[in-house]
Amino acid sequence: MYKEHLVSPGPTAVPPDALLAMAKPIYHHRTKRFDALFGEVSQKLKTIFSTTRDVFTLTSSGSGAMEAAVVNTINAGDKVITINGGKFGERWAKINKKYGAIVDEIVVPWGKSVDPMAVDAKLKADPSVVAVFVQHCETSTGAMHDVKALAAVTAKYNAILVVDAITALGVHECAMDAWGIDILLSGSQKALMIPPGLALIALSDKAWKRVEQCKTPVFYFDLRAAKKELEKKTTPWTPALTLVIGLNSVIDMMIAEGLPNVYARHANIAAATRKGCEALGLKVFPENPANGVTAALAPKGLSGKKIKSVMEEKYKVSIAGSQDVEKADIIRIGHIGYYDKSDIVLTLSSLEFALKDLGHSFTWGASLAAAQEVLYTGAPKV
């Protein structure tokens, strides 16, 4: 018998308290009861986003918030810059092109992070650019982009900075107001620890000026409609009521833990996972790795797909593989949200089992010894 363990970079494990909250009988969403809940959740989200701005909750995957960011601020013919360092940066370009924007795509090699000065140079050369789109963490490669530095760049120009923090919010500090991020968005199935189905987005005053002059047709993802309804503590369209109930539970968990402690926990287990992989001969792929997911190159002669398959099918531990093997044959271990030291020990042990099955040579327990040293030294003091 094996228990199933989900250690992908999304969806992620759901805490028992949130599961229990979501299992309670459902009720109607056009009621004072829901209005009170939604108003409470919307206020708490400001803490998670580090903003005083409204945070809008959309019933969709995170890609819905990405599309909302584009369709509410970009007109056909507008010039934009997108940072393509992986599959999700590539998506920014695809969405913008779909709506008729003129896209200047900065292509960054997989595993690398964009140079903020390259963005600065492009904005200086063409002040007519209206927006820069970037991931805080490129989930497909595990690489971080320096959003704080990028915000300092865009602050000097008319362009707004749009940040996909789907795999970064609740993992890394992402200070929307203090850093000057103009649009910050995320999704429910990562560090927010509930199932897929909610997208979250907040806009600065600078971004709202773009909304006010935007002529692109929009219906479901109309943030002006969302803003009007949020004033009444509700949503323009049917909300994912059960997920909002779960979101309220997990936000309370995060606030009780304290965001600095949440970030420190992620940093500790991420460092331990990286050390564990390196002890087995798996090279950490990105040069500036994120703390929500560890991307490591498969050992020579083995495929990441096969490692993933053996871990999942034989040992019931579900990780993620590469999203483009031609660019990087990697495995991706998620440690984002409801994870602690014990999850890392279990995952690395299962990785060793799978690698041994596949004929990879290493010393038994090497990953555990390397990881435990990090986990212990980074553990809270009693």
Inter-helix orientation angle 341-357/366-377, to 10°: 170
pLDDT tens, position by position, 81-124:
999 999 999 999 999 999 999 999 999 999 999 999 999 999 99
Q: Where are the domains of the chain?
A: 16-256, 258-377
Q: Which tens digit of pLDDT belongs to each residue from 256-273?
A: 999 999 999 999 999 999
- The confidence band for 1, taking pLDDT boundaries of 50, 70 and 90, is confident
Q: What is the mean pLDDT of the chain?
A: 97
Highest CATH level, class, for 16-256: alpha beta
- The helix (H) or strand (E) run that includes residue 130 is strand 129-135
Percent of the chain with pLDDT over 90: 96
Report field, pTM of the whole predicted structure over 0.95 = yes
Please give the DSSP secondary-structure letter assigned to residue 289.
B
- Contact between 215 and 163 under an 8 Å Cβ cutoff? The reply is no
Q: Given the structure tokens 């935007």, which residue do they identify?
A: 214
Burial class (CB in 10 A: 0-12, 13-18, 19+), 292: buried
Q: Where are the alpha helices (DSSP H) in 241-332?
A: 241-257, 259-279, 304-315
Contact at 8 Å (CB) between 124 and 94?
no
Pairing state of beta strands 129-135 and 79-84?
parallel
Q: Please tell me what DSSP assigns to residue 3.
A: -
Of the CATH numbers 3.40.50.620, 3.10.20.600, 2.60.40.10, 3.90.1150.10, which one belongs to the domain with range 258-377? Answer: 3.90.1150.10
